[in-house]
Structure 1
Amino acid sequence: VVLRTHIRNLPQGDCKFTGPSVYRNAAHRYQASIVDALNYVQDQKSKFYEITLLVSFTLAVFWGKPLPNSSDRNFHVGDDCLFMEANNMSSLCSTHRIYTGSLVPDMHVMMYYNVSLGYIDTYDNDLTIIWKMCSAFMQYQTLNFGVALFHLEYEDGGKSCLKTGLKQFAGYYRLKAVSIYLKNLFREYDFLIKDITC
């Protein structure tokens, strides 16, 4: 069973900017955070007995525009927006040659707001996905669950990000990093009792 903690398409006219998959405090009513989903499973544990559970992530990049009357300097995740759409990593690299994001606390997603062009982007990078996985494994040690990555086509499979100087986003870098992390994690049978800092 996949615990759908990622969001992709939102109804028109109901736009609240959010990250693709948030750890806690989801900004949109159509989105469950990872903590919300796992709290529900923990509360209803008998219903999920011997069922394989997967927490979902999307590899889409979200981009959108604030409402016309929004303050240019104070647009954040959780604010109302004009629209929000899914995009891919290669288009992000080709559109924004100098691209940096900052971490949104609690949700643990990357966000960038370009004041001059008036758009906002949110996405998960390899480190935010790994942090969310590690934190969930540590917080919910009595639950058995894994990870499902959706929309792999949003990765930069053609490596066009190499041409823009953003080589860290080229290829299947998130998929590769998450795969390596999980393989290393599950090789250590006692990883949950170790003093791990996510």
Structure 2
Amino acid sequence: MIIVKVVLPLPIRKCFKYIMPDLMFPVIGGRIVVPFRSKNIIGIVISICKNIETNQLNLKYVKKLIDNHSLYTSFLLDILIWISRNYHCPIGNLFFSVLPKILYNDYILKDKIFYKWIITKKGEEIDIVDLKRRKKQLYTLLFLKKNSVLNSELKKYNLSKLVLKKLERQGLCKVNVVYESSLNKKTFFQSKKKFF
């Protein structure tokens, strides 16, 4: 198990430690995505710690490895660490101010959460006669038998969240949470002009 020291783009004068999963191989000076409070932030690996007992530490895991090679030379890394020590500059701000704007601007990861309603086995096997008096539940259950629906599509198909929750309490349908994380990347135009 590898523990890495990570610098985050915050005005704090300390580094944070995270655990790298077994399949990820960190690069000193490379960017990684780490959880910090309630959001995922891009950080920069500044060192790797190998001989630490992980039983006593309460560390979080790294979410994603972005770079396979270092963004900084070893000389630049040494200078940045020296500046942060001698001039009392926050190390996170210092490391990210040296990066090009393209890599610095979009350092917050946005999580998209989708709620997908699907029918259960009990819902597929239920007799429709039992729901004849409850028309909204019957309509919703018949719709879910044909296909699942996202929470954002409920209005489109004239379905109610309240009815879906009642069906969920009865065990006739369930909700799956789907996470999709994506970086805010700006698209750049391609120009045919030569600048240099």
The TM tier, using the shorter chain, reads under 0.3
TM-score (norm 1): 0.18
Structure number with the bigger relative contact order (C-alpha 8 A, sep ≥ 6) is: 1
Which structure's CA Rg is the greater one?
2
TM-score (norm 2): 0.18
Larger strand fraction of residues: 2
